[in-house]
């Protein structure tokens, strides 16, 4: 089946989905206050964020990480933001268990400092970046993205980070680099489920180079104005809003540039169910369930009607051209 893309394919939210202007402006004012003194961009380091955290209201108990308003097209949906409680207690992070509540319960063992990310493979500038170097590499932005899980549920989350393309430009990929591979930490001492037979560890995900260079592909360090909680992939992860959630690797320790399509964790575990691209597509069902609708976490109710899932999770206008001419049923 050939699915044509449409430049006008973005479906606008219905009025009931839109945050009131007062509520949204209030939240923006808080973000603006958090950014004061940081040149409207990222705070320089962990010590600075710890100090800022003492003076602003926060949803959780972590260090503040402010993000300036993003100018990237599609970076801010105006849908109601999911609650911090839901975002931090309903997670898939199999290194800490397969139940949705396991990561919040078990991920306290994850050690996030010190942390470094190795850049390897087909680049002119291979090297290892400390977390502090990555935080300062480009100004932090707030992006409010929809998240759609392949299991059929969704949330709307405010992330903090910058486009992965900023890092890619720094390391200068060779012309032979066609794919980018992301490798997650796999430490059986701190990640109790590593070693289980569910997946081939470490968790690996990958993108085609043009996908990795898309401005919406976010190298992410925070959410809700704070640094990432452990169960959400601290201290650095990918967020790819037009793909199913499992494509966004967490707790990244290695980024490798390669000329071959990486073997990704879920694709290797069940190739017939989890394709390499895994773009959100309501027209291509998972072999065991429909992808046409989704359940928004926080809107649960006996009579709550499921939402229709949007092509590319509602980001068709921004990313559809990446897949023009492709058979999206074959390349699911």
For residue 30, name the pLDDT band (cuts at 50, 70, 90). Answer: very low
Q: For residues 13-32, give the mean pLDDT.
A: 38
Q: Structural domain boundaries of the chain?
A: 68-323
Q: Which residues contact 184 (CB under 8 A, 6 or more apart)?
A: 95, 202, 203, 204, 205, 249, 250, 251, 252, 253
What's residue 303's pLDDT? Answer: 78
Query: Between 89 and 28, where is the model more confident?
Result: 89
Q: Please indicate if the annotation marks 250 as binding a ligand.
A: yes
| 232 appears as a binding residue in the annotation | yes
For 199-220, what is the mean pLDDT? 98
Q: Give the mean pLDDT of 67-87.
A: 95
Q: Please compute the mean of the pLDDT values over residues 91-115 and round it to a whole number.
A: 98
When pLDDT is averaged across residues 71-89 and rounded to a whole number, the result is: 96
Q: Binding residue per annotation — 106? A: no
Contacts (Cβ under 8 Å, ≥6 apart) of 20: none
Q: Provide DSSP, 134-170.
A: HHHHS--EEEEEEEE-TTSEEEEEEEEEEEHHHHHHH
Confidence of residue 59 (pLDDT cuts 50, 70, 90): confident
Does 90 show up as a binding residue in the annotation? no
Confidence of residue 58 (pLDDT cuts 50, 70, 90): low
Most confident of 11-25, 39-53, 199-213, 288-302: 199-213
Q: How far lies 26's CA from each of 13, 21, 230, 305, in Å? A: 21, 8, 27, 30
Check whether 26 has a pLDDT greater than 50: no
Query: Which long-range contacts link 37-45 to residues 24+ away (Cβ below 8 Å)?
Result: 38/66, 39/139, 40/68, 40/139, 41/68, 41/139, 41/140, 42/66, 42/67, 42/135, 42/136, 42/138, 42/139, 42/140, 43/135, 43/140, 44/135, 44/136, 45/132, 45/135, 45/136
pLDDT greater at residue 239 or residue 10: 239
The reply to whether 208 sits in an annotated binding site is no
Q: Which class does domain 68-323 fall in?
A: alpha beta
| Structure confidence by residue, pLDDT tens digits, 284-295 | 999 999 999 999
Residue 176 assigned ligand-binding role:
no
pLDDT value of residue 252: 98
Q: Is 94 annotated as a binding residue?
A: yes
What does the pLDDT read at residue 10? 27
**How many whole angstroms separate alpha carbon 166 and alpha carbon 271?**
31
Residue 248 is assigned to a ligand binding site: yes
Question: What is the percent of the chain with per-residue pLDDT over 70, rounded to a whole number?
Answer: 83
Residue 247 pLDDT more than 90?
yes
91 carries a ligand binding annotation:
yes
Distance CA 125, CA 173 (A): 8
Mean pLDDT of the chain: 86
With H, G, I as helix, E, B as strand and everything else as coil, classify residue 292. coil
């Amino acid at each position: 089946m050939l699915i044509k893309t449409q430049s006008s394919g973005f479906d606008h939210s219905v009025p009931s989905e839109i945050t009131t202007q007062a509520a949204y402006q209030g939240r923006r004012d808080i973000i603006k206050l958090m950014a004061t003194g940081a040149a409207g961009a990222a705070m320089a380091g962990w010590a600075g964020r710890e100090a800022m955290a003492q003076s602003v209201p926060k949803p959780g108990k972590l260090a503040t990480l402010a993000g300036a308003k993003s100018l990237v097209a599609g970076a801010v949906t105006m849908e109601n933001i999911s609650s911090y409680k839901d975002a931090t207690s309903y997670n898939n992070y199999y290194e800490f268990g397969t139940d949705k509540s396991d990561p919040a319960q078990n991920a306290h063992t994850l050690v996030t400092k010190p942390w470094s990310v190795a850049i390897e493979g087909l680049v002119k500038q291979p090297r290892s970046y400390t977390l502090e170097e990555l935080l300062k590499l480009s100004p932090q932005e707030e992006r409010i993205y929809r998240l759609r899980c392949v299991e059929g549920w969704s949330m709307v989350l405010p992330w903090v980070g910058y486009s992965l393309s900023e890092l890619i430009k720094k390391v200068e990929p060779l012309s032979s680099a066609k794919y980018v591979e992301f490798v997650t930490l796999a430490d059986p001492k701190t990640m109790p489920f590593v070693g289980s037979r569910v997946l081939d560890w470490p968790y690996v995900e990958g993108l085609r180079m043009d996908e990795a260079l898309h401005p919406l592909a976010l190298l992410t360090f925070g959410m809700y104005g704070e640094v990432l909680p452990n169960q959400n992939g601290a201290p650095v992860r990918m967020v790819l809003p037009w793909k199913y959630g499992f494509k966004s690797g967490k707790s990244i320790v290695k980024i490798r540039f390669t000329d071959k399509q990486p073997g990704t964790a879920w694709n290797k575990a069940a190739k017939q169910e989890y394709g390499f691209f895994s773009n959100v597509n309501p027209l291509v069902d998972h072999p065991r369930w429909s992808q046409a609708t989704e359940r928004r976490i926080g809107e649960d109710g006996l009579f709550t009607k499921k939402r229709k899932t949007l092509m590319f999770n509602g980001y068709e206008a921004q990313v559809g051209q990446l897949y023009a001419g492709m058979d999206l049923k074959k390349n699911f």
